[in-house]
Amino acid sequence: MEDLNANGVRVTLLATAGVVVEYEGTRVMVDGLFKKDGHPFSVVPDELRKDLMAGRTPFGPVDCLMFTHLHPDHFDGQETIAYLESNPVKNVFLPACVSSEGCKRLIKWMDAHAVPYTPLELPAGGHARFSPGEGVEVTAFNTMHMGKRYGHVDNYCLLLGMNGRTLLITGDADYDSEAFARALRGREICAALVNPLFYQDRRGRAILDTVVRPEKTLLYHVPFAGDDAFMLRPVAKRLTERAGDAGYEVLALTEPGQQLFFL
């Protein structure tokens, strides 16, 4: 990996699909504020959480909070309120609440405390661009959630434009190649964050190889050792070892606080 310098991107894993992305002093946190309830995935370890909630480097200060979808391994309303009580941000991007009571409580709290937020309410395949503040541009597009069980759930992939560099964060995206193509048209992606199931599926690989064409692919949404009921850690390890034909570097984010640096 390249050393971080003035032009370098840093991606820090919190837990599961929670990451902080930093470039030239701009920080964005995605899917990083959630609790243990309601899912089998890893949560942010206690010591790391203390630094996160205190806004300490490299976890803060954060310019924007973003959420790909409202499943409990990506989002918790009360945890987000606890964070915002001590950490002002320029904007909070999150899907429209619909049936999420935690999301509705968060919206009510943000209204009462004048916290800027942007509800995402796009049809399947739709995309929109936003400029929440200096140094950050966001394109959100709705691929819906992968799998028949959750196929009715909105999942917003996020294109983060940060001072000229663009990262793609996919959450639990379904294999909607047309949605990817429309949103990414003309964009050069320095890194795409995808879960191992997306990468190992031929439809996901086709999207990465022919539409996204990233400089690097980062596998994430992988439980920590001891939490891996789905055996995703060996899957991620195998995929990185066998990625020689991908045409781009494939790396894995699997450890709390792990950082990847690249130009």
pLDDT digits (tens, 9 = 90+) for 245-258: 888 999 999 999 99
| The length of the chain, given as a count of residues | 263
Cβ atoms of residues 72 and 34 within 8 Å: yes
- Would you say residue 25 has pLDDT above 90? no
- Would you say residue 32 has pLDDT above 60? yes
What integer pLDDT is reported at residue 7 of this predicted model? Answer: 60
Residues paired with residue 127 on neighbouring β-strands, in sequence order: 141
Token pair for residue 192? 């795409």
What integer pLDDT is reported at residue 194 of this predicted model? Answer: 98
pLDDT, tens only, 86-95: 999 999 999 9
Total-model pTM = 0.95
What integer pLDDT is reported at residue 3 of this predicted model? Answer: 40
- Would you say residue 4 has pLDDT above 50? no
What's the mean pLDDT in 142-169?
Answer: 95
- Would you say residue 126 has pLDDT above 80? yes
What's the mean pLDDT in 227-244?
Answer: 94
pLDDT confidence of 135, banded at 50, 70, 90? confident
- Would you say residue 1 has pLDDT above 50? no
Where is 80: in which H helix or E strand? helix 77-84
- In Å, what is the CA distance from 165 to each residue of 20, 21, 35, 84? 15, 11, 31, 27
Distance of CA 115 to the CA centre of its chain: 21
Between vectors from CA 217 to CA 186 and to CA 214, what angle results, nearest 5°? Answer: 20
5-9, 78-82, 229-233: which has the minimum mean pLDDT?
5-9
Q: Does domain 10-257 have CATH number 1.20.58.1880?
A: no
